[in-house]
Amino acid sequence: MHAPVTGEVLCFIRRHGSAPASGSEFNSLALRLFAFQFEKNVLYRRFCQMEGVLPSTLKDWKEIPAMPAAAFKELVLTTFSSRKKKRVFRTSGTTFREVQGGAAIRGAHYYETLAVYDASILKPFQKQVLLGGVFAFYFLMPSAADAPDSSLSYMMDVVNRVFARGRGRFYVRKGKPDFAAMLQDLIKERRKVLILSTAFALKGFLDHLEEKNAFLKLKLGSRLMETGGFKGRTHEIPKKTLYRLCAKRLGIPVKNCVSEYGMTELSSQYYSTGGGSFTAPAWMRPMVIDPRTGKECAHGHTGLLKHVDLANVGSVMAVQTEDVGRMRGKGFEVLGRALGSEARGCSLTYERFLRSSG
Amino acid sequence: MSARERASSLGALSKKWMNRDFPYRRRALERLVTRSGFSKRMAGEILDGLFSELKEAGLWRLLRAELKDPAVLDGFVKDRPASRLVRARGPRTILHVFPANIPNAAVMGLVTGLLLGSWNIAKVSRRDEGILPLYLASLKSHDKALWKTCLLIRSRVEAVAWAKKAELAVAYGEDRSLVEIRRHLPAKTPFVAYGSRVSLALVLREALSKKNAVLLAKKTALDVWRMDQRGCLSPVLVFAQKGGTVSAKDFAKLLAQELERLEKSEDSKPRRGLSQSLAARRLHDALQLQLLKGAAAAFWKSGDGLWAVGYDEKIDGEYASGAQVIRVKGFGKLSELEETFQRMSGALQAVSLECTASHRKKLAEWLSVFGVNRICRAGKLQKPPVTWHHDGRLNLANWLTWTDLER
């Protein structure tokens, strides 16, 4: 038996899958959900108390205390008994902060039900990625069977089931991408193609095409969805360069390249097209926070991204990330991580020391 | 020019730099504020700390500490224990590669080369060339003969060309840069590399009396503040022993208060960037999570957010530090620190140690095992004597070539 607020969120998502929600509608549901999480999630309640915020004093969703994303690595954040969990998604354990000091510390997001999660995937994906087209789906990432605790693989599984009737092909098996097979299949492909990949794997595939001196001309209207960035890996390349390479090697124009911004700690996704800003579905709100003051930055100013995601019903709806970004137009852009960008002198920070000795 | 004459001339120039009205000093202060991002007060202290040690007496002390008889630079002198005569000569040409943002290291390095009578090729960072160009300009008007032995370069290409000709290369920087510089040197060219390092404060419970704790916090705050926590002598971690009259956590609070006081008394503020704010934010978040898990932790931030102090008792594990963020770690027994110090050995520089006099030597022995090369009192970290074995080495004796004349 799920909490009534779960049903409310589900209705909200279904109602506003394509249509925007008014500010007051969002605010009202956000405050009700906050009150629910404050009551049921003991650790979050304690966190809010430390921040001096109570449901009775809150008027605006912007004031909802955001739990640092790192908390998912250290605490079990649920509004239900963790014994009732239906699914646990874990972070990849590949970012620097997760691996420093030895063993990877992976964040975990517990779900009592996936109904809200599934609902939050479909409409935005349809609207931003498919644009009403019919495609052959090429997944350059593991399937949910191969990576059962990956939220991204789960999402792709849902997409495959709903939009590709389960006929999409996955080209990462047991952690290894099969670029050669994907290339062979794409050469033979006569339909419009949708390639779904992590940015890192996509770069690997583009390198493979370069090695083979291959230039594909995928059917007009083919599209790309990339996600996940490079997770602190050393050979990071700018998104524009990645898209230009896709146009050159795959024949997918930049305007057909979509970027997805999601994280295990959230249950919904943002999308951007052609390198533009990321836009949110109606049940999600991004904010940019000044790390020095903890207050919202003025539009266009750089700070840390905070997300309020109503689909995070069973955990915490407000999550503070360490991603640096700024609001742009009606959405936001991600600028990466700014650690160590200033001149530091000859002092070795302990963090840098660990990195070099790790 | 004899070594004595060189020390005398350079010492006299340092005296001028100590004068508040010396035009080059005024311009250096401005540069340190506008270009390097220090506050006015910090900049003044940096120059005072540097040039007070580079007066004639200090330079002579350095020569004597390392060479015993500095006349060895001018001719053969007796080496009694070895029953011989010895003569030392500085390298004909030294290539110095100076870091951005650490003004005193550059002047100190150049002065050392000048003391030895070498030609000095000084490569400064394009990002922030510091005060070296101003120092050289002041040298030109003070002692043209010495000035003529210096050449300031800014381009990497020039540095690579000089690397082939220099008899010694001295460089400061991160490991990656040092490896890159070494790559350009001929196999037999000696290379002295000063890398990035960590300094600490270690306070034992006996030092945390009610009478002493406030003063100690004040001094530790000054150690943090003086170089804006950018130098290798800036403490990034403070280990405070639990069980004193003043608790380790209260000491952390006192330290935070002192940093806030320093911030308030500033007539200009040091520059802060996003990564520093992020580091403070990350520390805040990490400690809040520890609190949620029921561990001992606390966090303080100064009014303008220039400084952040965190307290916890987790000795190992993940924690950020540096970037104007100070971690105070409460501990019980010294043995709890061994594993951490072991991991840091090779990167440790100095420790400000506060304990009873009877413990001091024994603790110094223990710290030296981990490669700590300087142990001083709180408040003195940023004021190393000119004779300090920087990175645990002799400063100029190793730069020389010796000739032995046997009987």
User: Does any domain span residue B385?
Assistant: no
pLDDT band at B78 (very low <50, low <70, confident <90, very high): very high
Euclidean distance between CA atoms B368 and B374, whole angstroms:
9
**Residues written for chain A:** 358
User: Does any domain span residue A24?
Assistant: yes
Q: For B251-275, what is each residue's pLDDT tens digit?
A: 999 999 999 999 888 877 888 888 7
Euclidean distance between CA atoms B66 and B9, whole angstroms:
20
CB B258 within 8 A of CB B221: yes
Asked if A292 and B236 come within 8 Å (Cβ–Cβ), the reply is: no
Q: Mean pLDDT over residues B10-23, rounded?
A: 97
- Looking at residue A47, its pLDDT comes to 95
pTM here is: 0.81
* Joined tokens for residue B220: 């530790």
| Residue B9 and residue B23 in one domain | yes
Q: Is B210 exposed, middle or buried (0-12, 13-18, 19+ CB in 10 A)?
A: exposed
CB atoms within 10 A of CB A354: 20
Asked if B277 and A322 come within 8 Å (Cβ–Cβ), the reply is: no
User: Does any domain span residue B28?
Assistant: yes
The residue of chain B with its CA nearest to that of A71 is: B289
Within 8 A of B347 by CB-CB distance, chain A residues are: 348, 353, 357
The residue of chain B with its CA nearest to that of A320 is: B285
User: Does any domain span residue B160?
Assistant: yes
**Enclosing domain of residue A267:** 116-276
| Residue B163 and residue B275 in one domain | no
Report the domain count for chain A: 2
Core vs surface per residue A271-300: b (16+ CB within 10 A) or e: bbbebebbbbbbbbbbbbbbbbebebbeee
ipTM field:
0.80
What's the Cα-to-Cα distance from A106 to each of A265, A284, B15, rounded to whole Å? 11, 24, 58
| Residue B273 and residue B372 in one domain | yes
Cβ neighbours of residue B287 closer than 8 Å, sequence gap 6 or more:
B297, B298, B299, B310, B311, B312
| Residue B139 and residue B217 in one domain | no
| Residue A78 and residue A155 in one domain | no
A198 DSSP β-pair partners: A227
DSSP string, B58-108: HHHHHHHHHHSSGGGGTS-EEEGGGTEEEEEE--SEEEEEPPSS-HHHHHH
Q: In CATH, what number is assigned to the domain containing residue A40?
A: 3.40.50.12780
User: Does any domain span residue B381?
Assistant: no
Q: In CATH, what number is assigned to the domain containing residue B67?
A: 3.40.605.10
Asked if A345 and B101 come within 8 Å (Cβ–Cβ), the reply is: yes
CB nearest to A292's CB, from B102, B175, B305:
B305
What is the nearest CA distance from A100 to chain B, expressed in angstroms? Answer: 7
| Residue B249 and residue B331 in one domain | yes
Within 8 A of A302 by CB-CB distance, chain B residues are: 274
Hunting for tokens 């916890």 — which residue is that?
A: B312
Report the domain count for chain B: 2
- Looking at residue A345, its pLDDT comes to 56
| Residue B187 and residue B211 in one domain | no
DSSP string, A312-349: -TTS-SEEEEEEEEEEETTEEEEEE--TT-S--TTBPP
Q: Is A334 exposed, middle or buried (0-12, 13-18, 19+ CB in 10 A)?
A: buried
CB nearest to A350's CB, from B127, B173, B236:
B236
| Residue B138 and residue B238 in one domain | no
- Looking at residue B344, its pLDDT comes to 86
CB nearest to B277's CB, from A100, A291, A345:
A291
| Residue A95 and residue A137 in one domain | no
Question: Mind listing the pLDDT tens digit of every residue in chain A (358 residues)?
Answer: 678 899 999 999 999 988 888 999 999 999 999 999 999 999 999 999 999 999 999 999 999 999 999 899 989 999 999 899 999 999 876 544 444 445 567 899 999 999 999 999 999 999 999 999 999 999 999 999 999 999 999 999 999 999 999 999 999 998 899 999 999 999 999 999 999 999 999 999 999 999 999 999 999 999 999 997 655 444 567 888 999 999 999 999 999 999 999 999 999 999 999 989 999 999 999 999 998 888 999 999 999 999 999 999 999 999 999 889 999 999 999 987 655 434 445 555 444 544 444 3
| Residue A235 and residue A150 in one domain | yes
User: Does any domain span residue A346?
Assistant: no
State the sign of the Cα–Cα–Cα–Cα dihedral B390, B392, B397, B402: negative
By DSSP bridging, strand B84-89 and strand B77-79 are: antiparallel
Euclidean distance between CA atoms A184 and A57, whole angstroms:
61
CB B325 within 8 A of CB B238: no
Q: Which amino acid is at B156?
A: R
**Enclosing domain of residue B59:** 3-196+390-405
